[in-house]
Amino acid sequence: MYIGIIYFIVIILANTVGAISGMGGGVIIKPVLDTLHFHSLAAISFYSSVAVFTMSIVSTMRQLKNGLKLQIPIAVFVSLGSVVGGISGNTVFESLLRLFSDEKYVQLVQIILTIVTLLFAYFYTKIGNERSLELSHPVWYVIVGLFLGFTSTLLGIGGGPINVALLMLCFGIPIKEATVYSIVTIFFSQAAKLVTIAQVTGFERFDLSILLYVIPAAIVGGFVGALISGKISSERVTQVYQVVILLVLLLNLWNGIQLFV
């Protein structure tokens, strides 16, 4: 029971921040749960996906209720790409688990790739967020969604800081709007991942009782995060985004070092 309570607290805090910043919470949940070592890498990835998937539903509904309008072509085509990316990313993740006898090597791959995306996201929002490619063709929307869905499921973080930064860079949209598209992308990529798990391996290998803590925490975190996001400025969202990136970067570095200590 105490494990469930710890997960509950971690997920509420992570999903609140994730909903505000558009990261989805998984970029915080995944390394924190890795540090705690309560479950296997596959189980942690699954719980993180369920948490951010639940949060994405609550947060998107709340944001739309607050009156934020989405550009339908971007939302539709990015989501389409994220579905394919979500399936592909989970397939590669499962293949890596089968390839390596020790899952710590898969975790190391995840940590390295996560650090790379964190650095990109931080420096883009810090020094380059006024530059964008202004891409507008539906093909580009699908390609970006494909990449984001793939990386988020492969890394087990559900969304991540790269979503917001890449959406801003490619399509020239402001950060508060990018956070909402990011959450929508998370919804479709994680839905695809969970359906794939159900069809390929099933959920029997996971302790599903943990979901009794994960899902309520994700709902509360998504609701609170969306509520706060609707009341703060874009500048404040950027500050939250950058602070979280730095903290998660340090946590991932720590986890990487601990793998070989």
The residue among 8, 25, 41 whose CA lies nearest residue 160 is 25
Whether this model's pTM surpasses 0.85: no
Whether 17 contacts 223, CB under 8 Å: no
Over residues 68-75, the mean pLDDT reads 76
Whether 174 contacts 234, CB under 8 Å: yes
pLDDT one-digit tens code per residue, 192-227? 888 888 888 888 888 899 999 999 998 888 788 777
Tokens 């479709």: give the residue. 188
Please state, rounded to an integer, the average pLDDT across all residues of the chain. Answer: 83
pLDDT one-digit tens code per residue, 82-132? 889 888 988 998 899 888 888 888 888 888 888 888 888 788 877 766 667
Helix (H, G, I), strand (E, B) or coil at 147: helix
